[in-house]
């Protein structure tokens, strides 16, 4: 496509897992660290769909080419310009964070992609994407997207206290990690508050925005909440460990799934990777950022992380370090065991 860069390696025997992200402004480094976390742990091949401002395209190209071939062979990527198929492009671009509304148009733009995981730039994977990708198989016949609740406790949730528009469920949903069956989204007629009959996804977006624009605070996330309020049968709600945010520990631990299994996907919203308000989140970001690709995961990633966490035990989130470390430890053990088994098998050393 015009204005699109492409970089690809030899195809894998399995279809790749599609991951989309939207990067504008100063989000280059965050996006690269998110992609790095995806590549470090995932097993199957990945297809990255990076939507970025024109000024960022050459930077992405340059940085991704610097990664070692042992990792670049695990993925292919496309970089797309920021485009909005309906309505006023400048209006969409300024909605909430820069360019965030682009995610609403993924079903329209990526017409050849069946399913996709969308994440915000401030997300880190602490286990293989393969594991969240498997949730697609758990969708029933009407479900076409999956998100986690915005909050676990209604009395302190934002939507349940302040929203002036319809929202999904009792606390709303957070769109920072969103698994989508794009084929189903494209083929569905959605119930809405504008006309008695159904509308396609693309037909619905701009009229919905026009109707509610004076009442929405969180931009495209609010629009998604409105859509799934009217179409609750279309949404699969996955547990909080797949979209773990500061809210889950800064008021006391309130994500039971993370307490039991560990955090699977970390979402450092509110800029917590870059300030000192949540040292646990910042520690994870910095350790993954600084990890040399070819080094040993335990030695150069897990051990530095453990030592950094010792400095955070006085903080609310730091009091539960096992929540942050449990899944990443399991993941690295799996990676290590797979490599040892492959090595032993190849060398017949039993």
Task: Say how far apart CA 174 and CA 304 lie, in whole Å.
Answer: 31
Q: Residue-wise pLDDT tens for the chain (350 aa)?
A: 433 444 444 445 679 999 999 999 999 999 999 999 999 999 999 999 999 999 999 999 999 999 999 999 999 999 999 988 777 777 877 775 668 789 999 999 999 999 999 999 999 999 999 999 999 999 999 999 999 999 888 877 788 887 889 989 999 999 999 999 999 999 999 999 888 889 999 999 999 999 998 888 887 899 999 999 999 999 999 999 999 999 999 888 999 999 999 999 999 998 999 999 999 999 999 999 999 998 888 889 999 999 999 999 999 999 999 999 999 889 888 877 776 765 565 555 44
In 175-320, where does DSSP find H-type helix?
Answer: 182-187, 201-212, 220-230, 256-261, 279-290, 297, 303-310
CB–CB of 143/101 below 8 Å?
A: no
DSSP lists the bridge partners of residue 125 as: 265
CB–CB of 225/173 below 8 Å?
A: yes
In 86-214, where does DSSP find H-type helix?
Answer: 89-93, 106-109, 129-133, 158-162, 182-187, 201-212
- Helix%, strand%, coil% for the chain, nearest 5: 45, 15, 35
Question: Which one, of 95, 79, 11, lies nearest residue 46 by Cα?
Answer: 11
What does the block give as tokens for 145? 């997207």
Helix axes 303-310, 321-347, angle to 10 degrees: 170
* Burial label, 156 (beta-carbon count in 10 A; 0-12, 13-18, 19+): middle
What does the block give as tokens for 312? 């955070």
Contacts of residue 184, Cβ cutoff 8 Å, sequence gap at least 6 = 143, 144
Question: Residue 342 is inside which H or E element, if any?
Answer: helix 321-347
Q: Report the relative pairing of strands 17-23 and 46-52 from DSSP bridges.
A: parallel
**pTM, entire model:** 0.91
φ, ψ of residue 77 to 5 degrees: the values are -145, 155
The owner of tokens 């189903």 is 184
What does the block give as tokens for 172? 């709303």
Q: Where are the domains of the chain?
A: 17-238, 241-345
Domain 17-238 fold is Spore Coat Polysaccharide Biosynthesis Protein SpsA; Chain A (3.90.550)
φ, ψ of residue 32 to 5 degrees: the values are -65, -40
What does the block give as tokens for 194? 């504008």
User: Three-state SS for 173?
Assistant: strand
Question: Residue 340 is inside which H or E element, if any?
Answer: helix 321-347
């Amino acid at each position: 496509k015009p204005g699109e860069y492409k970089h690809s390696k030899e195809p894998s025997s399995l279809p790749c897992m599609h991951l989309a992200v939207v990067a504008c402004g100063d989000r280059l480094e965050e996006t690269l660290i998110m992609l790095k976390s995806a590549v470090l742990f995932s097993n199957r091949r990945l297809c990255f769909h990076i939507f970025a401002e024109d000024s960022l395209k050459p930077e992405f190209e340059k940085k991704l080419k610097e990664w070692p071939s042992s990792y670049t062979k695990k993925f292919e990527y496309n970089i797309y310009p920021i485009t909005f198929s309906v309505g006023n492009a400048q209006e969409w671009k300024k909605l909430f964070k820069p360019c965030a509304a682009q995610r609403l148009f993924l079903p329209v733009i990526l017409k050849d992609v069946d399913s996709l995981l969308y994440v915000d730039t401030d997300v880190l994977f602490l286990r293989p994407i393969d594991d969240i990708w498997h949730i697609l198989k758990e969708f029933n016949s009407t479900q076409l997207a999956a998100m986690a609740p915005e909050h676990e406790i209604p009395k302190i949730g934002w939507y349940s206290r302040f929203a002036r528009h319809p929202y999904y469920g009792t606390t709303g949903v957070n769109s920072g990690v969103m698994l989508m069956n794009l084929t189903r989204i494209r083929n569905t007629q959605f119930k809405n508050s504008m006309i008695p009959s159904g509308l396609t996804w693309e037909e619905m977006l701009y009229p919905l925005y026009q109707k509610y624009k004076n009442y929405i605070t969180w931009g495209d996330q609010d629009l998604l909440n409105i859509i799934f309020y009217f179409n609750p049968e279309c949404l699969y709600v996955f547990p909080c460990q797949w979209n773990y945010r500061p809210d889950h520990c800064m008021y006391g631990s309130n994500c039971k799934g993370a307490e039991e299994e560990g955090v699977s996907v970390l979402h450092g919203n509110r800029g917590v990777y870059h300030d000192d308000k949540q040292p646990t989140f910042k520690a994870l970001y910095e350790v993954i950022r600084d990890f040399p690709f070819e080094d040993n995961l335990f030695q150069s990633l897990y051990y530095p992380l453990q030592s950094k966490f010792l400095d955070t035990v006085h903080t609310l989130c730091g009091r539960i370090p096992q929540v942050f470390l449990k899944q990443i430890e399991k993941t690295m053990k799996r990676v290590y065991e797979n490599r040892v088994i492959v090595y032993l098998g190849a060398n017949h050393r039993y």
